[in-house]
Amino acid sequence: MNHLSPCSVALAGALLLAACTPDSAPPPESALAVSAPASDEVAPSTSRPALFLRGYYESRDGGLFTACGETSRRTLASIDPATAAALAEENAKQDRPRFLMAEGNLRGRDAVEIGRFNLISGDAWNCESRLGEIILGARGTEELWSLEVTHAAATFVAGPSAVPEVHAYAGLADGVDGLSVRLGDKDAAFSVRLRGETCSEAMTGTLFAWSVVVDANGQSFKGCAWRGLASP
């Protein structure tokens, strides 16, 4: 049997101690570097209401709201002044239940807080309208153009017989007075700019919270826009 000398034991112990010290441990992984946007770029917008309410508003009894998926009416705990004014103006023309999509929250079982409206419609929109997959939608008030923005793409159709123009979607950006759509292909001939101002569509009697200008191939297309339920 071989016996280790005291020196050998001491040397082995020193090597084991050195292997377990923090200095010899592998360094922690570096955090991923996140580069700030260049000076000519705008950071994507992350502003989003906590909840988009959808349902039917009635002016009677001080204001009642029936949320999509519910059968009982809720009373108003609060309402944004601009939304209240827009609803009052529409109901002055014809008082009837109106489909409302707005920022806000449901409180308990019987109350609602209604914030800034997204759209107000008599019968052109309802709880079954396709909004879940859309980040942003827009269309012309005089010319029949349309824009639909999803996570897959921003698709623009300049008219009834036009070929759809498809661009890669990269996000929404905050501007001085509204929003703009950021494109993955960064086509200088195509841009979408929104302003936070009421826009009306005479054909359907719908009020939208946004006006929009789409610049495409040297032409400007003006119309109304709305936010969908999909996150930006």
Percent over 70 (pLDDT), the chain: 78
Residue 22 DSSP one-character state: G
98 versus 12: which is more confidently predicted? 98
Helix (H, G, I), strand (E, B) or coil at 109: coil
Both tokens assigned to 50: 């906590």
Residue 15 has pLDDT above 80, yes or no: no
**Alpha-carbon gap, residue 175 to 181, rounded angstroms:** 10
Residues 66-110 have pLDDT tens digits of 999 999 999 999 999 999 999 999 999 999 999 999 999 999 999
For 186, left (φ over 0), alpha (ψ -120 to 50), or beta?
left
Sheet holding 136-140, edge to edge: 165-167, 154-157, 146-149, 136-140, 219-227, 210-216, 190-195, 178-183, 169-174
**Alpha-carbon gap, residue 223 to 146, rounded angstroms:** 9
What was the pLDDT predicted at 186? 76
Mean residue pLDDT of the chain comes to 82
What was the pLDDT predicted at 23? 40
Give the start-end residues of each E strand in the chain: 52-58, 64-67, 74-79, 98-107, 111-121, 136-140, 146-149, 154-157, 165-167, 169-174, 178-183, 190-195, 199-201, 206-208, 210-216, 219-227
117 versus 19: which is more confidently predicted? 117
**Alpha-carbon gap, residue 45 to 184, rounded angstroms:** 15
Contacts of 173 (CB under 8 A, 6+ apart): 42, 43, 44, 45, 179, 180, 181, 182
User: Looking at residues 193-217, what average pLDDT do you find?
Assistant: 93
Residue 35 DSSP one-character state: P
Q: Within 63-156, where are the H helices? A: 81-93
Helix (H, G, I), strand (E, B) or coil at 131: coil
Task: Name the residue ranges covered by the structural domains of the chain.
Answer: 52-121, 136-227
What pLDDT band is residue 50 in, cutting at 50, 70 and 90? low
